[in-house]
Amino acid sequence: MAMTALVIDDSEVLREEIVRTLKEARLFETYLEARDGLEGFKTLLNNKVDLVLCDLEMPRMDGFRFLSMTRSRGELQDLPIILLTSREDRDTKIRGLEQGASDYVTKPFDSGELVARVRVQMKVKGLQDELKRSNELLRKLSITDPLTHLHNRRHLMEMVDKEFQRASRKGGALSLVILDIDYFKKINDTYGHQEGDKVLVALADIVRLRLRSYDVAARYGGEEFVLLLPETPLQEAQAIAERLRLEVQDHVFDGSLHGQVITISLGVATYPSPRIEGTDSLFRQADEALYRAKQNGRNRVELMSGST
């Protein structure tokens, strides 16, 4: 992966010396330069930078102010910043470290020491980046259904609570669709659970491709799925449900399921409604609509009571 260093110093000669030293050590592929903290901060906002070497005393914006502005932004809080200073006093170094500096290099610097300190910070950054990736993977695993890769039930319930509160505050429409695969037990009994899993995955893929970026789709349990549609009135939610129903019905399976038509039944409920006081009643209305869809012949969309 290409790495980038940013060197901030009002001395062009010193910037060139630092860049030359780091190039000889082959630590980075790209080198950016800035003459003061303000220019350096703007450079950070417009480029992906992996490490900063920043002079402490500069015109317009010094190193302390640069540190303060950088650490105030969440995406830059873990960026390694090595301060360059001609000062030897303890208080200055403590102040810099307390404000977020990763390390100090005293000017005039020894090239070997500079390279060693940069290597240490890059190693630390590498470990931090790996930890972030691992934590993000764990977070995704904790909210994802392992078979369909849709959200799981626990995450769905968190999102339903969040979106319901937002709809209550702002007065927007929030729709919930519960869908169920028709005769799914027969599919498992006839073709086996492995083929049944293929049906679940195909349905999840259709749902994922057709919903908007801010919608939430989750496997609720077994062959039942839930769609959470923010800012979506009842008629629009009905249209979305109907498009999904038709697309599932028309989906062509391969293998032993080739020629088998799979259908789904869907129930739709929308807040605000006199029948809905909270998330429990939102689910109940959608579930009752799904039950009517099953009772009325399956492979159909039914709306919450009182909506027609």
CB neighbours (10 Å) of residue 153?
15
Element spanning 10, H or E: none
**270 three-state secondary structure:** strand
CA distances from 263 to 179, 181, 246, 295 (A): 10, 6, 8, 15
**24 catalytic, yes or no?**
no
The structure tokens listed for 140 are 């995704």
The answer to whether the beta carbons of residues 270 and 234 sit under 8 Å apart is yes
**85 three-state secondary structure:** strand
Q: Which of 113, 158, 223, 236 is catalytic?
A: 223
C-alpha to C-alpha distance for 216 and 158, rounded to whole angstroms: 11
User: What amino acid positions are annotated as catalytic residues?
Assistant: 223
